[in-house]
Amino acid sequence: MTRATSSLVHSPHFLEGDEFSIDTFALLKQDGSLYEGATVPDLDRDKALRIYHAMVFTRVLDERMLAAQRQGRLSFYMQCTGEEAAVIGSTAALDDADMIMAQYREQGALAYRGFSCDEFMNQMFGNEHDYGKGRQMPIHYGSAKLHYMTISSPLATQIPQATGYAYGQKLAGDGHCTITYFGEGAASEGDFHAALNMAAVHKVPVIFFCRNNGYAISTPAVEQFAADGVAPRAFGYKMRVIRVDGNDVLAVYQATLEARRLAVEQNQPVLIEAMTYRLAAHSSSDDPSGYRSKKEEEAWREKDPILRLRRWLEDREWWSDDEEKALQERLRREVLETMKVAQKRPAPPLESLITDVYDTPTPQLKEQLAALETHIRRYPEAYPKSAHKSASEHSPQGSSTSSGAVTGQGGY
């Protein structure tokens, strides 16, 4: 059914598909001053500094961890560099108990919520303190207490899940919403379309936050879609939409604040497209020199979102060179020290191979673990991460295939 206002016409007139031109909401210029006519959103000093700290921490973490990966201390890493304002500015506009369902480049959101450096490190090194029990590659963080859904590598699967999660929040009536992050590449997946359509139909309090950073690994946005970005798709779903300068933390913050109000007060899903740039490689396994120019990267480096916010803070005398220096030093030291400790922590116990597949291990899983333990006792030198534990936890008679060692893991 079309709208009641649709009228009959008698010549075949096709719409071009580019009738809508979508403006970009921007407040803060690169020099730290406001655009003419722009007003500062409701943002006090404490919150502004909390945002800034999280942005700087994210930048420092990314630099140090990429270096650690290059030194062979870490198997894999992904940087958020260049996109800190988009991620942290939006998270800051939420209630801290709103749900975040991110893609994988949103470590800044976790940093803002208070995930400690130690917690980051434990995940990346997959040690016995990792909440994810060493099961996922580095940067697949999760935190129940910070309302941050554990990252899943498949792209866009989190988007319809966010619609469902937010539907549950709406039924619960607790005044919370869900934000889901994804790139402009992931927005090509079927899950994106499913999620936005269902959210619009069922009037769900969810914010779809697209980080349009220009590239899906090596594929530029112009080879991802013919349209003017991702934002125009919202019209097809009759959804509220805004495009924002993703390197402008004030604009991102205000846009998300308004989106949250629409979501929570009116059950209106919202699409936000943040125009930004992935300054770093896609991941530690990628080399952008094969698909884009240094010149292009330099042009975007000039638009550094952290520097932009710092200038604004300094103009207000909320931040100084001395404070900057002290913060940088403290964060670098903290990252290095926690890294050293986390790297030395032991691997998760062998039983964690079979726990959490189901709420309790099945008889088949217990049998498989018992057989594995017997095997490891036979060849301990081949399995150094678990052999010493296997030997100490079991009496050395060798004939025991007891599966009694399987116990539930405590929650975090």
Partner 1 sequence: MATLNLLQAINQALDIAMADNERVLCFGEDVGGFGGVFRATSHLQDKYGKARCFNTPLVEQGIIGFANGLAAQGSTPVAEIQFADYIFPAFDQIVNESAKFRYRSGSLFNVGGLTIRAPYGGGIAGGLYHSQSPEAYFAHTPGLKVVVPRNPHQAKGLLLAAIRDPNPVLFFEPKRLYRASTGEVPESDYELPLGEAEVIKEGSDITLLAWGAQMEVIEEAAELAEKEGISCEIIDLRSILPWDVDTVATSVLKTGRLVISHEAPLTGGFAGEIAATIQERCFLYLESPISRVTGLDTPFPLTLEKEYLPDRLKVFEAIKASMAY
Footprint of partner 1 (CB under 8 A): 99, 101, 130-133, 135-136, 140, 142-144, 149-150, 152, 154, 157, 159-169, 171-172, 178, 190-191, 193-195, 197-198, 201-202, 355-359, 362-364, 409, 411-412
Shortest separation between residue 195's beta carbon and partner 1, angstroms: 6
Residue 8, judged by CB atoms within 10 A of its CB (0-12, 13-18, 19+), counts as exposed
**Nearer to partner 1 by C-beta: 28 or 210?**
210
> Which candidate, 136, 25, 160, 105, places its Cα nearest to that of 284?
105
Burial 96-114 (b: 16+ CB within 10 A, else e): eebbbbbbbbbbbbbbbbe
Residues in Cβ contact with 59 at an 8 Å cutoff, skipping those fewer than 6 apart: 81, 84, 306
Give the integer Cα–Cα distance in Å for 90 and 260.
10
Shortest separation between residue 327's beta carbon and partner 1, angstroms: 30
Give the integer Cα–Cα distance in Å for 373 and 387.
9
Is there a catalytic annotation at residue 310? no
**Nearer to partner 1 by C-beta: 131 or 225?**
131
In the set 291, 330, 375, 388, the catalytic residue is 291
Shortest separation between residue 368's beta carbon and partner 1, angstroms: 10
- What region, left, alpha or beta, does residue 173 occupy, with left being phi > 0 and alpha being psi -120 to 50 degrees? left
Is there a catalytic annotation at residue 291? yes
Query: Six-digit token pair at 98?
Result: 């709103």
In the set 240, 278, 308, 310, the catalytic residue is 278
**Nearer to partner 1 by C-beta: 47 or 135?**
135
**Nearer to partner 1 by C-beta: 140 or 282?**
140
In the set 105, 140, 243, 282, the catalytic residue is 282
DSSP result, 10-58: SS-PPP-S-------B--B-TTSPBPTT----S--HHHHHHHHHHHHHH
Query: Six-digit token pair at 335?
Result: 């990252």
Shortest separation between residue 403's beta carbon and partner 1, angstroms: 14
Shortest separation between residue 334's beta carbon and partner 1, angstroms: 24
**Nearer to partner 1 by C-beta: 165 or 319?**
165
- Give Cα separations from 106 to 3, 4, 78, 82, 368 (angstroms): 39, 43, 10, 12, 37
Q: Are 162 and 202 in contact (CB under 8 A)?
A: no
**Nearer to partner 1 by C-beta: 328 or 362?**
362
Give the integer Cα–Cα distance in Å for 281 and 286.
6
Shortest separation between residue 142's beta carbon and partner 1, angstroms: 5
- β-pairing, 206-212 with 270-275? parallel
Residues catalogued as catalytic: 278, 282, 291
